[in-house]
Amino acid sequence: MSETLFCHCCRIHHPRDKMYRYLTRYGYRWRCRRTIEAAQGSIAERDAFGYQQTEINRDLARQNEKRQFLSMQERRLLP
């Protein structure tokens, strides 16, 4: 099994060979190729990608929030 790393931009685990370390003001963070390539596009493309990724992250947060308040029996039924 290949090792995976967490991308701090898209908040998904990716294979290590598709990840790069970037220095931020908080230290080094891992980013996937997809987010790096999206950031290098035009301003309109970059903004569109950012809005799309924000919606994806919000949906994931809502799903996790719903799971947090489920009973153990309901959690067993989830995929």
Q: Are 44 and 33 in contact (CB under 8 A)?
A: no
Q: What is the pLDDT at residue 77?
A: 66
**Range list of β-strands (E), 1-79:** 4-6, 13-15, 19-24, 27-32
Residue 1 has pLDDT above 60, yes or no: no
Distance of alpha carbon 44 from alpha carbon 52, whole angstroms:
12
Residue-wise pLDDT tens digits, 36-71:
888 888 999 989 988 998 998 899 888 887 777 766
- For residues 16 and 3, the answer to whether their CB atoms sit within 8 Å is yes
For 9-27, what is each residue's pLDDT tens digit? 888 899 999 999 989 898 9
The answer to whether the pTM exceeds 0.75 is no
